[in-house]
Structures are given as structure tokens and as C-alpha cells.
Amino acid sequence: MRWGVITFPGSNDDEQTAFVLERLLGETVVRLWHKSESVEGLDCIVLPGGFSYGDYLRCGAVARFSPIMRAVEAFAQRGGVVLGICNGFQILCEAGLLPGALIRNRELDFLCQRVHVRVEAADTIFTNRCRRGDVLDLPIKHGEGCYVADETTLRSLEAGRQIVLRYTDAEGRVTPEANPNGSLGAIAGIRNARGNVFGLMPHPEHACEWLVGGEDGRKIFLSIIASGSGATEMPSVPTSSKVLSGP
């Protein structure tokens, strides 16, 4: 697959995302500067984590008007696959590509920790390598990750099975303690009604090697790759040991 990874001024997970895709998964990555206006020939576009434009005004509010975002919006409208991680999720909400908004964490503090998230829907482009109910161990690092939406939006998210990930404890139970930021319905990740745009607060790109504590993040990228190739079986993937010897 050909992936586009966008760099906004203030993005800081763009290189990590590209590293995972290129070095760990053997994918092709095109770096996209926020000023570029074309996303031609790409299969999936990633809006990475970070603090685009210093999070001025609101997280993602300024990035949403970058020249590249017009191309991303058109790409999404054509059915192109778009993944927004953390700040990328905030940008997608600001752009109206995903419903709702992300506000300051319930306890006001910046959270940098591992969390558990339960896969609520596995028949998606982004989670088809998981089973429904699987619990993934992923890191979060954000100050504004509390998902909010009005009741009508929440109902339509539920009805359309657009909620993809929820914060849970290690056993997959939704509890107040397991919800790190106070998100409505413990929502950690949602997709749009069409199913081709996905935003999540946890960072799969920081959980793709045992060296950094886990590999659950791979499942998200492998799911996208599997949907792209139409594969129904698990793709063969370079193992960590192979990676250590270099590509």
C-alpha cells in the first residue's frame, strides 16, 4: 500500500508513524507537508499526533485549514482511507470529517500512560485483524482527549456501530476508573458513517515493538493493509527479530 503521512508544523509522531510503516511493516510511505495540495496515488492518509500549530485556539482548529486538508477532505469523500491519531483525531473532528469534539481531560492533567481499549467493532477497515471484545494495550499522551458529543450524535454513533474502541480495564470492563480522560461513553476511537475515516486518541504507532512494551498497535495498521489488499488471511509480517537486523 502507498501511505501518506502528513506533517503539520508541530506534528511529532509523523516520523514514528513512517518508521512503523516503512521499517516494521515494509510499506511505502510518502511524506506530505501541510502545504502540499495533492494526495494523488495514495491508499491511506495518516494525520499523526503532535501539537499542530501549537494547539492555538483549539487543538486541530488551525491545522484543519491547512492546504492539504482540502485534499484530505476530497480524498475522504471519494472513499479514501483516513486515519487520525491523537492530534490527528482532533483535526478530523474540527474538520467535520468525524462527529463530536475533544476537550480538556476530566482531571485537567496531561496523561502519558498505557491504557486498555476494547474493540467494539471488528468488521471495520481499521480493526479486522482483531475480534470484537479484544482488549488492546496502547499508550496515550494527551491533555485534551475527552470525547464529547450531543445526545443525538451519540445515539447515531451507537446505532451506526461507529464506536470502534472504548477505554476499559484489562479484563475489558468499562469502569469509571478505566476511563482516563472522562470521555463520553468511554469512547477512545470512532469511525465515520461510511466507515473509511477513523480517529483514535491512543497511539498504535508507539506500540508496534516489544522494545517499547507491546505490539498491539500493529493490529490497527495490519487491518488497514489487509483491507487494502482484500486479504482474508493474516498477512506475513516481518518479525521483531528480522527488524533488528535491519531491512
DSSP string across 46-90: EE--B-GGGG-SSTTTTGGGSHHHHHHHHHHHTT-EEEEETHHHH
Choose the binding region for another protein from 145-153, 194-202, 213-221, 227-235 (rule: CB under 8 A): 145-153
Which residue in the set 61, 111, 122, 243 belongs to the binding site for another protein (CB under 8 A)?
61
Q: Report if residue 138 touches another protein, rule: CB under 8 A.
A: no
d(CA 38, CA 62): 19
Which residue in the set 182, 185, 214, 228 belongs to the binding site for another protein (CB under 8 A)?
182
Choose the binding region for another protein from 21-29, 95-103, 118-126, 165-173 (rule: CB under 8 A): 95-103
d(CA 99, CA 96): 6
Burial label for 106, CB within 10 Å (0-12, 13-18, 19+), is middle
Reply yes or no on whether 86 is catalytic.
yes
Annotated active-site residue in 34, 44, 59, 86: 86
Which residue in the set 93, 157, 164, 178 belongs to the binding site for another protein (CB under 8 A)?
93
Distances (CA, A) of 103 to 2, 10, 146, 198, 213: 32, 19, 5, 18, 28
Annotated active-site residue in 27, 94, 205, 209: 205
Q: Report if residue 155 touches another protein, rule: CB under 8 A.
A: no
For residue 214, give the C-alpha cell: 507491546
Which residue in the set 44, 47, 136, 146 belongs to the binding site for another protein (CB under 8 A)?
146
Strand, coil or helix: 180: coil
- In the complex, least distance from residue 71 CB atom to another protein, rounded to whole angstroms: 19
Nearer CB in complex with another protein: 101/135: 101
Reply yes or no on whether 205 is catalytic.
yes
Q: Report if residue 150 touches another protein, rule: CB under 8 A.
A: yes
Which residue in the set 27, 73, 94, 215 belongs to the binding site for another protein (CB under 8 A)?
94
- Amino acid making up residue 60: G
Q: Report if residue 57 touches another protein, rule: CB under 8 A.
A: yes
Choose the binding region for another protein from 56-64, 67-75, 80-88, 237-245 (rule: CB under 8 A): 56-64
Nearer CB in complex with another protein: 104/114: 104
Could you tell me which residues come within 8 angstroms of residue 54 by beta carbon, excluding any fewer than 6 positions away? Answer: 10
Reply yes or no on whether 93 is catalytic.
no
Q: Which residues of 189-209 are buried (b: 16+ CB within 10 A; e: fewer)?
A: bbbbeebbbbbbbbbbbbbbb
Choose the binding region for another protein from 22-30, 78-86, 103-111, 233-241 (rule: CB under 8 A): 103-111
For residue 4, give the C-alpha cell: 501518506
Q: How many CA atoms lie within 13 A of 230 on its CB side?
A: 0
State the residue for C-alpha cell 531491512: 247
Residues that bind another protein (CB under 8 A): 57-58, 61, 65, 93-94, 99-101, 103-108, 146, 148-150, 182
The residues annotated with a catalytic role in the active site are 86, 203, 205
